[in-house]
Amino acid sequence: MSETVLKAGTADQQYQPSYLEMETKHKGILAWILATDHKRIAQLYFFSMMIMFLIGALIGVLIRIELMAPGRTIMDAQTYNGFFTLHGIIMIFMFVIPGLPAVFGNFVMPIMIGAKDVAFPRVNLLSWYLYVIGGLIVLTSQFVGSGPPDGGWTFYAPYSVKSAANIGMAAMGAFFLGFSSILTGLNFLVTIHRMRAPGMDWFKMPLFVWALYATGWIQILATPVVGITLVLVVFERVFQLGFFDPAFGGDPILYQHLFWIYSHPAVYIMILPAMGAISEIIPTFAQRTIFGYKAIVVSSLLIAFVGYFVWGHHMYTSGMSDTAKWVFSFITFLVAIPSAIKVFNWVATLYKGSIDIQPPLLYAVSFMFTFMIGGFTGLIIGAVAQDIHLHDTTFIVGHFHYIVFGGTGFAFFGALHYWYPKMYGRMYNIKLANIAWGLFFFGFNVLYFPMFVAGYMGMPRRYFDYLPEFYIPNLISTMGSWFLYAGIILMIYNLVKSRKTGAIAPANPWNGVTLEWSIQSPPTYENFDEIPVVKDGPYKFK
Amino acid sequence: MSDHSTTQSHGLVHRDDEGSKLGMWLFIFTEILLFGALFLVYSVYRFKNQDAFHAAALNLDTVIGTINTVILIVSSATIAMSISALQQKNKKLAITLMVITLVLAFSFLVNKYFEWGAKFHHGLYPGAEHLISLGSGQNQFFFLYFFMTGLHAFHVIVGMGFIIFVMRQVMRDELTYNNYTRLENAGLYWHLVDLIWIYLFPLFYLIH
């Protein structure tokens, strides 16, 4: 980045009204819910998403308390079924899938490429509304009709087409959430193609932008498949069709294929932006240019591409041909390569850097730790023979929570601590943030690691009750969830409080060099007075 | 899709025709994937129930299907011509061609209505006793027939709405010979509707 840009943005410039305070033609709450500004939409997403996250996490804690001891603890079996289903739908469709793109993608991506907004601001707002509508439908499904949806977030047929519970409505809600995700992806792809500042070549883009670009393609090409599949489930329930009902010659395995054709790539929708955020945080706090920029870019695209062809590894025990099993297993192993490339590059970036240990870096480094555990356990269950033993055990639950929560979740909160001063122009209490991170990280590992042990011993997932021999790992796991939740609450307390009372943050508190640090905090409505001209690649530290 | 040329709260005017078209193309990709999943379901069940699909397809009315195919292809031509007309500053002709497109689209739906009505009359709808007695393979055929042609008809309706929307803008001179991307996008969408029918038609009506 040119030096002039940095100077113009930081010291010399006068403070102008930020996007938080600007005058708009609408007043009060309307100025927010009718906003087309990408930063305001990011805030809309952020708040709705945090509400959903807290509900989902609370349900998770309740599930853990129920599983603290064998037999009934605090709820009956049907409530438990409803709870793990709702926990899955909320966390997957309303937190980790929209997660980083909708909040931080919306907030910083246009600034990072030197644009004033996304390509289609009103479509951007529409996708938030679709998100809200989808979320409300899912929540409503809990209270109306024939009882809360059960059977898990995967909506597996034929149970989902026969269960008396209110599954159709939840599936419809997920359809809306998918549509929202498609429009976000579409918007970002066009923005990145068309709105880069002069001089911002493809290979001068920050890695977070690259990650969003790869994610955008998965969003628009994979989501429609699950969308239409869920519509088929809804129609099957309403109009007595029988696409997946064996009584009509329907094929439940076909449902699983259609579902995972999307839902495995969806895992990369969750993790790629997370990796992108980590690729931003690590160079800033090591004050060192990223190691292997192009390798990280290519590995993002490879993950997006190869990720389409691994869905069968969810179905080793479902009754596929043996050939299909080993082909899927082989391709699954291939995905590990680009993922590992990224981890090596991050570690190599830290090597001999001038490391400044701040909360975002703590989250980023713990991301690497948990992601490695999640990744390696993924290889264990990617092997067919092992998976036959571990399929549908809590080992799987441990694995995907290490990836999705330990990966995307940590990256989300790391990104939040990284861009928080930019979003609000205030700094949070660093000490408190470190303590919250400590509780979070400790609780996380205590919560999920015992699941590997119990799963390896043979404890099935999603069961309401279990044999006494699984008591100890379950007890430890439940106690871990309390630390984790305490960490989350402390973190939110710190961030909410600092929003009004925190110290005023400078434009560039971390000494970052991507474009968002060159403008004032919080940014003005149009981000840049003058569109910057980019000369160098990102991450050029002095 | 296109979001330019309108005033926003701060008068941030941003017009990017290429970007709008790119957005439309990406949206078309998602639509193709949406139907792609259904074509996948179709091919799996066709493979599993070859004889039943053969027998069931004989119940479809090839004549109406052919007429509807011709209607859609002609309507694709008229919407394309309307873009050319607007480019050549002939606003009146452009609107006339859009109206013709809409009339053709509507007659497609009318035909569809009678065609579906006949199926219901013969007890060939999901849940009907007659259809159930024909066995699971024929049931799958008609599930797919109603779902896929129904979803296509829904896209015809959405496409008509899109064309009406841009037609109003042409009338008010908001879209003109040097600013016609939104009309082009409506045309692109309409070609997609046409294209999907081009695949539905042989799969259901012609393959026996």
Nearest CB partner across the interface for A249, out of B31, B49, B147 = B49
Q: Tell whether the model's pLDDT for residue B1 goes beyond 70.
A: no
Q: What number of other Cβ atoms are within 10 A of residue A370's Cβ?
A: 22
Instruction: Say what the pLDDT of residue A239 is.
Output: 87
Q: What is the pLDDT of residues B138-163, one digit of tens each?
A: 999 999 999 999 999 999 999 999 99
Interface probe for A, chosen from B24, B27, B32, B41 (most Cβ of A below 10 Å), is B41
pLDDT value, residue A26: 85
Residue A431 burial by CB count (10 A; 0-12/13-18/19+): exposed, middle or buried?
exposed
- Mean pLDDT value of segment A262-266: 92
Give pLDDT, residue A7: 38
Average the pLDDT over A393-407 and give the result: 96
Q: What is the 3-state secondary structure (H, E, C) of A305-345?
A: HHHHHCHHHHCCCCCCCHHHHHHHHHHHHHHHHHHHHHHHH
Q: What is the pLDDT of residues A93-117, one digit of tens each?
A: 999 999 999 999 999 999 999 999 9
Mutation target vs A (from B3, B15, B152; most A CBs, 10 A cutoff): B3
Between A145 and A87, whose confidence is greater?
A87
What's the confidence (pLDDT) of residue A240?
A: 81
Q: Which of A122, A243, A526 sits opposite B3 (nearest CB)?
A: A122
- Pairing label, strands A503-504, A426-427: antiparallel
Band of pLDDT at residue A2, cut at 50, 70 and 90: very low
Q: What is the mean pLDDT of residues A58-73?
A: 95
Tell me: pLDDT of A79 over 70: yes
Token pair recorded at residue B160:
């008509």
- A148: phi > 0 → left, psi -120 to 50 → alpha, else beta; which? beta
Q: How confident is the model at residue B128 (pLDDT cuts 50, 70, 90)?
A: confident
pLDDT digits (tens, 9 = 90+) for A340-375: 999 999 999 999 999 999 999 999 999 999 999 999
pLDDT digits (tens, 9 = 90+) for A292-334: 999 999 999 999 999 999 999 999 999 899 999 999 999 999 9
Q: Is A377 on the interface with B (CB under 8 A)?
A: no
**Chain A partners within 8 Å of B37 (Cβ):** 224-225, 228-229, 258, 261
In this predicted structure, what is the pLDDT of residue A537? 85
For residue A233, the chain B residue with the least C-alpha distance is B147
CATH class of A3-518: mainly alpha
For position B6, what pLDDT does the model report? 37
Q: What is the pLDDT, as a whole number, of residue A56?
A: 95
pLDDT of A1 strictly over 70:
no
Query: In chain A, helix, strand, coil percent, each to 5?
Result: 70, 0, 30
Residue A9: per-residue pLDDT: 43
Whether residue B9 is predicted with pLDDT greater than 80 in this model: the reply is no
SS3 call for A393: strand
Q: Which two tokens stand for residue A171?
A: 């599936």
Point out the residue among A119, A228, A254 whose CB comes nearest to the CB of B34. A228
The mean pLDDT of A120-138, rounded to a whole number, is 96
Instruction: Answer yes or no: is pLDDT of A24 > 90.
Output: no
- Of the CA atoms within 13 Å of residue A172, those in its CB half-sphere come to 15
Q: Which residue, B139, B116, B140, B144, is CA-closest to B129?
A: B139
pLDDT over 90 percentage in chain B? 86
Residue A200 Cα distances to A205, A520, A533, B14, B34, angstroms = 6, 21, 8, 19, 34
pLDDT, average across residues A63-69: 96
Percent of residues, chain A, with pLDDT higher than 90: 86
For chain A, give every domain's residue range: 3-518
The mean pLDDT value of chain A amounts to: 93
Distance of CA A310 to the CA centre of its chain: 20
Nearest to A229 by CA among B61, B67, B147, B96: B147
A242/B140 touch (CB, cutoff 8 Å), yes or no: yes
A positions 186-205 inside 8 Å of B (CB): 186-187, 189-190, 193-195
Residues A244, A247, A251: CA angle, nearest 5 degrees: 30
CA A124 vs CA A36, A112, A442, B157: distances in Å:
7, 18, 37, 24
- Name the residue facing B22 among A123, A193, A232 (closest C-beta): A193
Q: How far is B32 from chain A (nearest CA, A)?
A: 9
Q: ipTM score here?
A: 0.91
Q: Of the ranges A44-48, A83-87, A88-92, A147-151, which one carries the lowest mean pLDDT score?
A: A147-151
* pLDDT (tens digit per residue) in A496-517: 999 999 999 999 999 999 999 9
Say whether domain B17-206 belongs to CATH 3.90.180.10.
no
**Neighbouring C-beta atoms of residue A416, cutoff 10 Å:** 23
Average pLDDT for A412-419:
97
Q: Is B22 on the interface with A (CB under 8 A)?
A: yes
Cross-chain Cβ contact A193/B27 below 8 Å: no
pLDDT in tens, A418-476: 999 999 999 999 999 999 999 999 999 999 999 999 999 999 999 999 999 999 999 99
At residue B10, the pLDDT reads 42
pLDDT of residue B13: 55
